[in-house]
Structure 1
Amino acid sequence: MGLKFQREDTLDRKFAEFAMLPDEKADKLKEKEAAIQRFLEPETKDEEKITTKKDASK
């Protein structure tokens, strides 16, 4: 009777997240901060387009 094992890479992924070089960690932190900033402060160009469309439909 043979056993079949399924390979899981969850530990490998956790280790990759944990064991980063300082340069890589700083880059990822900058990317994360930029994404948060984009979420909190969306671009005003999109808002201007929306208001222009509303004004045109009146």
Structure 2
Amino acid sequence: MTDEVAYGRPPPPWCLPPQAPAEADNFRSTVIVAIEAAARTHQGEPSPTMAEMARKITGALDAA
């Protein structure tokens, strides 16, 4: 609750209790949408650096 009041947003999913898988899925989905939107700001394919960063972030989310 302190994080939500202090920062105006809920805590990250790794801080959520195990009974909140829907919130963790929602967080993962939101991050992936943001990554995809950032990749679309460039013409054509994302750069190798952007593609690698997207893979790393998605991998970390999948592992959590």
TM-score range, shorter chain: 0.3 to 0.5
Structure with max Cα Rg: 1
- Structure number with greater CO (CA < 8 Å, separation at least 6) is 2
- Give the TM-score normalised by structure 1: 0.42
- Give the TM-score normalised by structure 2: 0.39
